[in-house]
Amino acid sequence: MPLVTPLPQDHDQEVAELAVFFNETLGFCPNSVLTMQRRPAIAKAFIELNKAVMDNKGRVTSDLKRLIGYVASLTAGCQYCQAHTIRAAERYGAADEKMENIWSYKSHPSFSEAERAALDFAIAASAIPNAVDKVISDNLHQYWDDGEIVEILGVIALFGYLNRWNDSMGTSLESPAKESGEQYLGKNGWNGGKHVAKD
């Protein structure tokens, strides 16, 4: 049972109109947003932030942003966000090879050195205590400019909020996200955790 029950999708017209964004990214409006709309200003601000963070201004592609979100969520332990990010990565054209080998991105040939630098940064920035050091920073600057680094950290910070929201809330995982989690993450121990009702 989630801590707070989500409200119907049509509860707040302004939130519903903004939440159309998620039909593209996920194919549905997430239960996290449906819960946030108990305070519509929070839901609206979150959706606008999400849209701004996921807007591409350079070489940080939509699928890479979702893989960065996945690695950040894996580091934080949020299985709800892991399922959402792997589903969104799939919807934005991430190669199956990358999604199926995200755990071995440091050595798997489907990942570039620039992607490895971004994913290393995602792990370090999501760790508690924060583990971003000179080595991580210098490596990141080898491949990404300042604007791109802001985009990358924007994704990590956005999922820092979502990881805490969804794990604390015990947000129920939607069926499509659960299917993506099982398909791409199940072989490595993902099971949905507290976000999936147990029989």
Query: What does 9-56 look like in DSSP terms, one character per residue?
Result: TTSSHHHHHHTTHHHHHTSS--HHHHHHTTSHHHHHHHHHHHHHHHS-
Q: What is the pLDDT of residue 47?
A: 97
- What structural domains does the chain harbor? 7-55 (1.20.5), 60-194 (1.20.1290.10)
Q: Report the distance separating Cα 11 and Cα 9, nearest Å.
A: 6
pLDDT band at 3 (very low <50, low <70, confident <90, very high): very high
Q: How far apart are the first and last CA of the chain?
A: 13
Q: What is the pTM of this model?
A: 0.95
Q: What is the pLDDT of residue 199?
A: 57
Q: What number of helices (H) and strands (E) belong to the chain?
A: 11, 0
- Could you read off the pLDDT of 7-26 as tens digits, one per residue? 999 999 999 999 999 999 99
- Could you read off the pLDDT of 41-98 as tens digits, one per residue? 999 999 999 999 999 888 999 999 999 999 999 999 999 999 999 999 999 999 999 9
Q: Report the distance separating Cα 198 and Cα 186, nearest Å.
A: 16
